[in-house]
Amino acid sequence: MKGAPKNEELEQLLAAEFGVTEFPADAPPLVDRTRHLELATKLKALGYRLYVTVVATHYLPQAASKAGPEQPEHFEVATALRKPTQGGALAAWRCKLAVGEGIPSLVGLFAGADWQEREQFDLVGVRFDDHPDLRRLMMPDDWEGHPLRKDYAIDTACTPWR
Amino acid sequence: MTVELSVDPPPEKPAKKPAAKAGPAWLVPGAVAPIQRADPYLDIETYDPEADLMVLNLGPQHPSTHGVFRVKLYLDGEIIVKAVPFAGYLHRGVEKLCEKLAFTQITPIVDKNDYVSPMMNEQAINLAFEALLGAEVPRRARYLRTLVAELQRIGSHLLWLGTFALDLGGALGGGSTVFLHCFRERELILDLFEALTGCRFHYNTHTVGGNRHDIPEGWASLVKQALTVIESRLPEYEELMTHNGIFVKRTRGVGVVDGELCLELGITGPMARAAGVDYDMRRDAPYHAYDEVEVRVQTETAGDCQARTLVRIREISESIRIVRALIDGVPEGPICGHKPIKIVLQERSAGGQAYAALESPRGELGTWVIGGGVNKGTSPYRLKIRPPSLHAAACLPYVLPGHSVSDAIVILGSVDPIMGEVDR
């Protein structure tokens, strides 16, 4: 991933215990979604105690082209943790979700994941399993749709504020 | 780093300090012990059927919420039992809007996020774009960015100090003395930025690959004059705030957040440093020109509202020192490594992801950007701003219970949430 130095420690951990073989230079490595919580637990024990952020992204279905093979509609959830010491090593990884699939919540490990995951649930519509309080954070509770999805046009009509 | 162990280890010296005092490496010695966290998911129905609970909505229009923020307080007498914050009143959909704009058009939009320190927003977003697009920033621009970042930090902390005094209200004779003094000094910083960019706020002076406005003739002496004035008045704030008995009574031991909770919540910046977290991105993960200047990280150990005040006041002096160290050594050269922007759509990215962060006056302000958006990649596909204020405000459900309503105002003020950044 660009902008942060290469994290050897994370790559060794992923290669040894999580069966990850691909480490793209311009994106965080892909990890199986069922092992998301396990990886976060291991990283926290290694000293990555600062919760940085979680980013969910929506991808529309794509036909096969020069850019790559055919892709069904899916989501990607990227998570980042940091070591609060010299160097501030950043550990970031992605999980790929099909439509309707959820991802384990990190609230039990990092209290800060509560609001961050609520925001991503609200705006992108990704479900975080076992989240104790999965409500909308930014939009009103009766809002329809998830604004940061790619099929949600920027000028989608909204019901008037009540 | 590997450490070579000698074959023959020296005999072990008896430990000078008891083992309990040696904390983790990221905490300074003597930092506050972990607090008893309140349960944010407390079921109020099962709390105490006998108690006569009252529900009080603090905000969204209450002046001490610094914008539009609502905290639903469940009160037992005057003591808070449960606090449920509500964000989103200022949600403008900045991230969605940025997906339609070109990289160079986004800077003035994010100016309005953290409206107390707009320079930091511009720098944070452009750091991420430069990482994504592979743009080089010339050395002069990096120096200039460091200078305006530190000046902005002074201005932001001054505004916080003034409004915090207003929050304390009656304790400081209405608080308006400190408020007006702080705004008088902040005006000097705004004048410097006006001389540099032509705008008093929302500058739009950073761009992908550098800056847009070069240092004008004689700006360095203006900066030095302003810093001398601000430095001469800092002891006044110390006396007005920290040497004031009522201020100390209202802030000492109030709203304690320990270092471990800070890290778990993602709180960085002065709030974490007041709890003893010895971490500052300017020193530990340098960006701009911070690797060429010494940054002395200011920490406190108590983790309460008084410690946060002390850390921020000392950070003002520290910023003054950094600006003085850099202002005479600004290297000559171009201020933008890129071609001058003639068409806004010239920056393109095929894909890839980047995350870059900097130390804003409130903590780690980061941007996660995914390239390859609309119009052949001239826009980001997805942009996520990591706002330090949102993480800081998330501490309220853990900290507020057990305090009185008047303390809640003090705690909310000391957390320093900027609602434009919380809601985006």
pLDDT in tens, B168-222: 875 565 567 778 888 888 999 999 999 999 888 888 888 888 888 888 888 999 9
Contacts of A147 in chain B (CB under 8 A): 93, 96
Report helix, strand or coil for B192.
helix
| Cβ B128 vs Cβ B137: under 8 Å | no
B 131-190 residues with CB < 8 A to A: 131-132, 134
* Rounded CA separation B276/B115 (Å): 28
Q: Does B98 touch chain A (CB under 8 A)?
A: no
Chain A with chain B: Cβ pairs closer than 8 A? 129
Place B346 in a pLDDT band, splitting at 50, 70 and 90: low
CA-closest candidate to residue B242, choices B361, B161, B139, B329: B161
Q: Do B354 and A3 touch (CB under 8 A)?
A: yes
Q: Which residue has the tokens 């008084």?
A: B306
Domain positions in chain A are 8-129
pLDDT digits (tens, 9 = 90+) for B292-333: 888 898 888 888 888 898 899 999 999 999 999 998 888 888
| Arithmetic mean of pLDDT, B59-86 | 83
Lookup: tokens for B284: 């530990």
Place B342 in a pLDDT band, splitting at 50, 70 and 90: low
* Rounded CA separation B109/B138 (Å): 24
CA terminus-to-terminus distance, chain B: 40
DSSP state string for chain A? -BTS---HHHHHHHHHHS------TTSPPEE-GGGHHHHHHHHHHTT--EEEEEEEEEE--B--BTTBS-B-SEEEEEEEEE-SSTT--EEEEEEEEETT-EEE--TTT-TTHHHHHHHHHHHT--EEET-TT---SSS-TT--S-TTSTTS-TT---PPP-
B 279-338 residues with CB < 8 A to A: 279, 281, 284-285
Q: What confidence score (pLDDT) does residue B147 get? A: 92
Domain covering A8-129 assigned CATH 3.40.50.2300 in the classification = no
Lookup: tokens for B209: 């690959």
Measured in degrees and rounded to the nearest 5, phi and psi for residue A59 equal -120, 130
| Arithmetic mean of pLDDT, A80-105 | 88
Q: What number is the ipTM of this complex?
A: 0.88
Q: Do A51 and B132 touch (CB under 8 A)?
A: no
pLDDT digits (tens, 9 = 90+) for B249-290: 888 888 888 888 888 898 988 999 998 888 888 888 888 889
- pLDDT at residue B19 is higher than 70: no
Q: Do A154 and B100 touch (CB under 8 A)?
A: yes
Q: What confidence score (pLDDT) does residue B59 get? A: 75
More confident residue, A161 or B306: B306
Q: Which residue has the tokens 């959909």?
A: B93
* CA-based nearest residue in chain A for residue B91: A138
Alpha helices (runs of H) in B91-218, residue ranges in sequence order: 94-98, 107-110, 118-133, 139-168, 176-197
